Structure 1
Amino acid sequence: MTNLATNLAVSAARDGAAPAIRLGAAEVSFAQLDAASAHVAGLLRERGVQPGDRVGIMLPNVPQFAAAYFGILRAGAVVVPMNVLLKAREVGFYLDDSQAKLVFAWHGFAEDAVAGAAAGTECLLVTPGEFEALLAATTPQPQVVERAADDTAVILYTSGTTGTPKGAELSHANLIRNTEVVTGLFTLTADDVVLGALPLFHSFGQVCGLSATVAAGACLALVPRFDAQAALDTIHRYRVTIFEGVPTMYVAMLAHPDRARFDVSSLRMCASGGAALPVEVLREFEAQFGCIVLEGYGLSETSPVASFNHADRERKAGSIGTPVAGVEMALRDVENGVGEIVIRGHNVMKGYWGRPDATAEVIDADGWFRSGDLARMDEDGYFFIVDRKKDMIIRGGYNVYPREIEELLYEHPAVREVAVIGVPHAELGEEVCAAIALKEGATATADELREHVKAQAAAYKYPRHVWLVDELPKSPTGKILKRAVETPAGLLD
């Protein structure tokens, strides 16, 4: 049967008593999660939701997310995951664009959810206790609805850095295969405990966290909203074996002043994605936490995993590894060894929901998806991200890749986080600038940090303007948001 929800039913049948999800002191077994998803499917049927209809999920990292996610899939409907921090106007866009029939929304964000759904989507508020009572009063739908391999399972909206967000349509086949790939990459078994600190509404947390953990019969230990203390405490309390995170999470855990109080010896493997992990951070994390970090790469449009380092092969610091099984990667428009990554395989989305023109711009006639990421490839076929195409700075006709300069700055012992950006310049086109947050208790001047780079990089590359900040702006998934970095007034005057 082709339906991603089958993985939950299979794991529940194999060992229903095993813990599927933990959150604080609460524990949900596989049998309980499977039953909850069957009640969600029954509830959707009672509300008139048909196979193929879209249903939104606007829930944080709580067990109810998993019940709703697999319940929607079980009913044959399409999941539309949504960030809980969306405002009414944005909620309205997601629901209207996807033509969602219903949205499950967390009670704590009711005002924006209800206002955004007003245009014609039923809004079902999820309040602990009340939601479970509602499900208990519903006739469950035990069977998993059969779907075709290329039927849409999930519509993941991209962040919309340019224009309005676009919904990447991921099929059941896309997600089933990517879940299998992740389970193999991390050698996941029923004995594993995975830290669920990544937002479940995002592709990384959803597939590599929730979906792969459920398929393996492992346990997902949830952290509702990431902070280093909560993550370290959860690892310590539940003997977490696998940590999946974005680079800012690694930085925050390393910087935690009481890190030594937590026992993290259970960790056997860590995975980093979402953005390039600075080499210095990777090395320090491995040394301090005593486990290997595998860096990988992917996008919402690639379900998400496209390439990864492998535990049983050579790992190269700074590399996103090699393509995963069944996936091809290549470089297009190569100049001085750097080109745009293109991807082809079972992981590439069907297209952007209702946007054939936008789809045609990124997927060619031969099935190659243009990623917008610039990389180089070594003689062993390992890929190294150079930068996002749109982040590249052109200073006086020379290409400057912010990541290269950021790597140099991370090597300075006082630097915690950094964003290198291009600022418009009347004569040069753009000037290289850096916003830097220092480690707690560390001291360094802007001049000192600029000289640190100047001594190691070509004259056109080093940041002419450096300023210190307490924190860098971040997306809900923890990525540093370069477009939101504020430049000091009169910077280039």
Structure 2
Amino acid sequence: MTILRQTVGEVLRAQAAKHPDTEAYVYPEHGIRKTYKEFDAETDDLAKAFMGIGIEKGEHVAIWSDNKREWLLSQYATGKMGGVLVTVNTNYQAAELEYLLKQSDATTLVLGEEFKGTNYIDVLNEVVPELASAEKGSIASSKLPHLKRVIVMSENSYPGIYTWSEFAAFADWMTDTQLEERFNSMDPDDVINIQYTSGTTGFPKGVMLTHVNVVNNGRLVGDYMRLTEKDRLCIPVPLFHCFGCVLGTLAAVTHSTTMVLIEQFDPKKVLQMVQDEKCTGLHGVPTMFIAELNHPEYDTFDTSTLRTGIMAGSPCPIEVMKKVIDDMGASEITIAYGLTESSPVITQTSADDPIEKRVATVGKPHPDVEVKIIDPATGEQVKQGTPGELCTRGYLVMKGYYKNEEATRQAIDRDGWLHSGDIAVEDEDGYIAVTGRIKDMVIRGGENIYPREVEEFLYQHPAVQDVQVIGVPDEKYGEELMAWIILKDGQQLTAEELKGYCKGKISHHKIPKYVEFTDAYPMTASGKIQKFKLREQSVELSGKI
């Protein structure tokens, strides 16, 4: 494959020229439908507004909201005028927002009004009390010296903040010629996006991604899904995460595919959209697919138009994958694996892969992507079939962490290999299975246990809807296993019954010593289960058992 040397804006313009009348995006909740020709024109206007309000090439624009239309338009508008989009986690509270805006040197914040009970305007005023008396566009914050302007995705008026239409009117300050000059001045190797990692250890780090990184990754992901202008992809995953804005919008735009968007995930709304919009693709993390499949009204929806999609974000339970293929009808659904630092996808299963490979592995490396598996202790490459740390090299590797050279050196070695921190094993056919994080591996009495293997076994129990397995300290063995179980509606199960189910079927040392039942797991806003929080709860509980 040839690496595309195009900017995000060039990709959108090219697709709009090829398929002007194909629907680019649909927001069924709001009755909004726009073609590629209209989408291209809208984002040209918005690019001029970003320029008119004073944003220079390379300037950092933070965006904080759920999957609103303004988020989507801002992604492509900044891609046309060279602003760097800094994506903000929707779950952030005041301290996290302050940290991100300060560390990223954001000069501009575009935000929604609220998310799941959190009033974003109130949170912002807590961080920037100067807003109350600030002139719009001339904020002077003691905590955030770079922040100059705030734009709200609404027509409600707030002190110091531009309404959306006030912001959009700045387009009139710029000519088409000025936009073209800016558009043509961009280099595909320019950083276009800074995404902050979840921060499960220490403070979140800003991953710098270029046009080349995200355009090519999105295109390859779409190729693996066999997307065309006839496809309609439902995107319920957050846009602030790579899953939403690369595997979602860029995979779609590079193939003139229609995006069917939902502002906030709701399993019933997703099923309704798939049915009403005749979606051929559906994205989700495993917990989303589990919620859809287990919705009490699931059987009343027609998902027969589904063909493809991606399950990613965390390890995909084999039983769930089978149901998505057999019950939902997404016969060509693929598994993708990667990390934000690799734009994000490193490996992916293809539509042609046998079901066994699609449910038990994360596929093979993408074209133009190198992968090796090393012994974390020695750095030496391991033999096929031996677990080790997965490393990758190629166009997909980030530019680095923003203003954090030390962390960049720890992640990318001198030879350009990005170290994932994940344990992986390659089979005799070249397919890769990811068995967990290096730090998640449990060592019980000298035996290495990969929680994923135990989870996959426990998923097969008919009463189990979801399961997470972690290690807790143990005086005798060093570590023991604890299983956190979510039961299916109406099902009952005791810890002893679950252990009895395991006996004689998996090795004795892999049977969890502790079993806890729960209704939900601690999650990130992008749908990843926060195992470190589960581990904290487990350590506390196991000490009392």
Q: TM-score, normalised by structure 2?
A: 0.87
Q: CA deviation at 1:132?
A: 4.1
Is the CA contact (8 Å cut-off) linking 1:425 and 1:492 kept in structure 2?
A: no
One-letter identity of the residue aligned with 2:370: E
Partner of 2:467: 418
Is the CA contact (8 Å cut-off) linking 2:151 and 2:167 kept in structure 1?
A: no
Q: Distance in 1 between matches of 2:106 and 2:324?
A: 42
Is the CA contact (8 Å cut-off) linking 1:242 and 1:270 kept in structure 2?
A: yes
Q: CA deviation at 1:360?
A: 1.0
Q: Which runs of 5+ in 2 are unaligned?
A: 115-119, 129-140, 157-162, 376-381
Partner of 2:267: 228
Q: Distance in 1 between matches of 2:107 and 2:41?
A: 23
Match of 1:359 among 387, 408, 429: 408
One-letter identity of the residue aligned with 1:110: I
Partner of 1:158: 197
Q: CA deviation at 1:487?
A: 3.2
Paired positions, count: 493
Match of 2:348 among 285, 308, 330: 308
Partner of 2:48: 42
Residue 474 to residue 126, structure 1, CA distance change in 2 (3 Å): same
Is the CA contact (8 Å cut-off) linking 2:52 and 2:170 kept in structure 1?
A: no
Q: Percent identity?
A: 34
Residue 489 to residue 160, structure 1, CA distance change in 2 (3 Å): closer
Q: CA deviation at 1:103?
A: 1.2
1:346 partnered with 2:395: yes
1:134-173 to structure 2, matched below 5 A, reads: 134-136=167-169, 138-139=171-172, 142-143=179-180, 144-173=183-212
1:193 partnered with 2:232: yes
Is the CA contact (8 Å cut-off) linking 2:90 and 2:525 kept in structure 1?
A: no
Q: Distance in 2 between matches of 1:189 and 1:291?
A: 16
Equivalent position SS for 2:507:
coil
Partner of 2:365: 323
Is the CA contact (8 Å cut-off) linking 2:219 and 2:250 kept in structure 1?
A: no
Q: Distance in 2 between matches of 1:489 and 1:215?
A: 48
1:220-299 to structure 2, matched below 5 A, reads: 220-292=259-331, 293-299=333-339
Partner of 1:86: 92
Q: CA deviation at 1:238?
A: 0.3
Equivalent position SS for 1:169:
strand
Partner of 1:207: 246
Q: CA deviation at 1:331?
A: 0.6
Match of 2:522 among 445, 452, 473: 473
One-letter identity of the residue aligned with 1:329: V
One-letter identity of the residue aligned with 1:365: R
Is the CA contact (8 Å cut-off) linking 2:112 and 2:152 kept in structure 1?
A: yes
1:12 partnered with 2:11: no
Q: CA deviation at 1:476?
A: 1.0
Q: CA deviation at 1:301?
A: 0.6
Q: Which runs of 5+ in 1 are unaligned?
A: none
Equivalent position SS for 2:99:
helix
Residue 490 to residue 56, structure 1, CA distance change in 2 (3 Å): closer
One-letter identity of the residue aligned with 2:54: G
Is the CA contact (8 Å cut-off) linking 2:218 and 2:246 kept in structure 1?
A: yes
Q: Distance in 2 between matches of 1:310 and 1:106?
A: 37
One-letter identity of the residue aligned with 1:441: G
Q: Distance in 1 between matches of 2:508 and 2:246?
A: 43
Q: Distance in 2 between matches of 1:66 and 1:244?
A: 17
Partner of 1:491: 542
Is the CA contact (8 Å cut-off) linking 2:47 and 2:171 kept in structure 1?
A: no
Equivalent position SS for 1:376:
strand
Partner of 1:370: 419
One-letter identity of the residue aligned with 1:299: L
Q: Distance in 1 between matches of 2:285 and 2:39?
A: 27
Higher mean alpha-carbon deviation, 288-297 vs 26-35, is at 26-35
Per-residue displacement from partner, 1:179-218 (whole Å, max 9, x unpaired)?
A: 2212211111111110110100000111011112122222
1:424-435 to structure 2, matched below 5 A, reads: 424-435=473-484
Residue 59 to residue 34, structure 1, CA distance change in 2 (3 Å): farther
